[in-house]
Amino acid sequence: RAGADALLVFPIGTFYGSPLPPEVPYAYHKAIADGAGAPLVLFQLQRDLGGVEYSLECLAKLASIDGVIAIKEASFDAMKFLRTLRLLRSLPRRIAILTGNDNFIFESFVLGADGALIGFGTLATDLQVEMFELVEKERYDEARKIADRLQPLADVIFSSPVRNYRARTKEALVMLGVLEHAYMRPPLMPISDEERIAVKEALKKAELL
């Protein structure tokens, strides 16, 4: 009734620790698929953000669930993204790959991402859509110009510690006039004045301010 087309399944604490038997996340996702009655998007998320990076064996098993239609790959590692992409392309049923890698968005598109689910998409959204469409048309040089313009901003927003990308993004949206406040729900904290300056300079460099 709310209008969602699919459900993004976040990894849970039970999955933490190695090795992770594929049967454990499989049973969890299968129960959701059977009970929810909606398509599922798997979520491979880097550990620094509290996520789990599934093995290729595990991903292949998860992809065998009928309700799975895509995976959000957010390892922030280009080689892991590429290995996941190759795995998905080898499967008998097409599973879309959506990049969650805010640190190499353009490259994800060039490598073959079908789309994106990214926090950075809240900033310069129109430019990122244009970049994706240019890649689809194989106009890579034009797309690269947009990527080069936005990459320094992405580097600042997703700098270490990466968990603070939420606060940095909100500060940027306040500076752009999209949000009134950059309030963070505890225990997450607001960023320092020094970081605010860095965000503002990055917005200027990207010609967004």
- Alpha-helical (H) ranges within 77-178 are 78-90, 105-111, 125-136, 140-157, 165-175
Contact present, 44 and 72 (Cβ < 8 Å): yes
Contact present, 99 and 136 (Cβ < 8 Å): no
Structure confidence by residue, pLDDT tens digits, 94-152: 999 999 999 999 999 999 999 999 999 999 999 999 999 999 999 999 999 999 999 99
Q: In which band, very low, low, confident or very high, does the pLDDT at 18 lie, cut at 50, 70 and 90? A: confident
Mean pLDDT, all residues of the chain:
95
Is residue 48 predicted with pLDDT exceeding 80? no
Mean pLDDT confidence for 6-12:
94
Mention every residue, 6+ apart, whose C-beta is less than 8 A from residue 201.
Answer: none
Is residue 84 predicted with pLDDT exceeding 70? yes
Domains of the chain: 1-117 (3.20.20.70), 126-209 (no CATH)
Tell whether the torsion through CA atoms of 81, 117, 113 and 176 is positive or negative.
negative
Structure confidence by residue, pLDDT tens digits, 172-194: 999 999 999 999 999 999 999 99
Is residue 2 predicted with pLDDT exceeding 70? no
Mean pLDDT confidence for 19-38:
94
How far is 74 from 100, CA to CA, in rounded Å?
4
Q: In which band, very low, low, confident or very high, does the pLDDT at 51 lie, cut at 50, 70 and 90? A: confident
Closest C-alpha among 139, 67, 72, 141 to residue 108:
72
Instruction: Flag the least confident range among 9-23, 72-86, 100-114, 122-136.
Output: 9-23
Contact present, 94 and 119 (Cβ < 8 Å): no
How far is 196 from 201, CA to CA, in rounded Å?
9
Model pLDDT, residue 1? 64
